[in-house]
Structure 1
């Protein structure tokens, strides 16, 4: 069987439609369909079947698609071994990040990688709902994603998951707020507060539900934004309180303070998602190693000094 046709079958299993495969691979839908028909003849059995206006994989198709993933991993592993033999992680690595990590970790990562001749990193930023991160792995080599501890929307998708850090989420308050003088706040302190929230489906939303359960009162969300700069501006002007990441949000303007939340699990996990074949590439592994190093460095830079109170 032709490896390129096997890869089209794998793409169909992951993307769900011939049209999506065609767009991703730079072919026409008819060309993709023709190649899949050739693969069916090589396999000697149907690999797809009609479903409405599209096609879905048969049981044999799913089995062969899993084998195609194993073939792709093996090929990338062989290439990676040759790159290691040459001691040269060359090539282009595409990456998508969400804004806070893009601002705090990514610049230093690219500075460190800049000394490696032939390694090029192309990065952009997106911040989709939780379920959207897995789809991005079909478009980018490395996807930087965040979720709440215990929530794994990419489970069962066959992706390689590289943990980067667990980041506490503090409460963002105006400097003149009644709670600003506290060293920490609880869900009971926040019962009557108006919130500047995130769009539905974003990670922080789950913590608001937990605050509702602990406080026994519905949380009022007045506005919803995904951009932390907008959130900070609204909080600073007294429109409500909000969550703010402790490590990746950068330095606060003078009119704002952050306080730890006690009594409710308030943190997010930041990970890198990579397709298993892509994870074998030496260039990709090199970028991941530097990401892990910079994430650890960021956490250490926020550790309380010895003998000081948190």
Structure 2
């Protein structure tokens, strides 16, 4: 059914006269009559019947007019939802890693709650490859991912990628230890990520350059648990520089080569024009 003809029928049910409908919509009585007749042919049933010199809706016409209220409201809602100039409204699904959620997404959500309360952000914690799979299946609208300069991600042709921020990584060891050549850690037990192989790839690259193969003993997802194992003397691993994760851990700098983790916001190409997604992307602040 042509929704423009549904609008004619709905106005006729309200105004009761094709002449008044024509005046209301800025068209001719003939155009209104032809539109109603065409709609009747589309639904294979009469929608109006003579009533003296006027017409009135048949029972089927009244039923269809009732449906038209819901249909036209849904069409208008869809138009506003997709209008870049409209107030953003909708559910935005985000898959990302914990640090980016804390550092970039949560501040954006706080701002959106004040400026665009019609946007509902749903957060799912996933590692990059998991997030990319969800993005490809349209199960999420935005992926917050990361890579390392020594283990870069391969982007798909349909990805739109914006770098958010970067942070240097170093070697996490017990706080009592001091910096030493990387080769001196050849006999230590190592901790790597359990759900993403990127930091293991970086570790193996560094170890290869230093002339050894790391003995990987623990595979841990949570950085807090990595800290606990380091403090307990159960291993060492790569950690972000900056404020120590917790007392008892020292993160030694790595400079030759330097190790940098880079965070990204990734969407499907062309999807960033959807107002709720655009509003979130505009607010993914780059922390200083």
How far residue 147 of structure 1 moved from its aligned partner, in angstroms, is: 1.5
1:108 alignment partner in structure 2: 107
Aligned equivalent of 1:92 = 91
- CA gap of 1:251–1:285, structure 2 versus 1, over 3 A, is farther
Distance 1:91 1:251, change over 3 A: farther
Q: Distance in 1 between matches of 2:176 and 2:84?
A: 57
Q: Which has the larger radius of gyration?
A: 2
In the superposition, relative to structure 1, how do residues 204 and 109 fare at CA in structure 2: closer, same or farther (>3 Å)?
A: same
Show CA shifts across 1:225-245 (max 9, x none): 111121111111011111112
The runs of at least 4 aligned residues of structure 1 exceeding 6 Å deviation read 78-81
Is 2:148 the partner of 1:119? no
Give 5+ residue unaligned stretches, structure 1.
1-77, 301-310
SS in 2 for 1:217: coil
The answer (yes or no) to whether the contact 1:92–1:122 under 8 Å persists in 2 is yes
Mapped to 1, the partners of 2:168 and 2:188 lie a distance apart of: 20
Contact 1:131 1:154 in 2 (8 A): no
Is the contact between residue 186 and residue 261 of structure 1 (CA under 8 Å) also seen in structure 2? no
> Matched residues in 1 for 2:169 and 2:80: separation?
41
Q: Is the 1:196–1:221 contact (alpha carbons within 8 Å) kept by the matching residues of 2? A: yes
Normalised by the length of structure 1, the TM-score is: 0.60
Cα distance, 1:91 vs structure 2: 1.8
Q: Which residue of 2 aligns with 1:160?
A: 160
**Which residue in 1 is equivalent to 2:39?**
none
* TM-score (norm. length: structure 2): 0.65
When residues 290 and 200 of structure 1 are mapped into structure 2, their CA distance, relative to the original with a 3 A threshold, is closer
Secondary structure, in 3 states, of the residue corresponding to 1:284? helix
- Aligned pair count? 206
User: Corresponding residue for 1:242?
Assistant: 237
For structure 2, the 5+ residue unaligned runs are 1-78
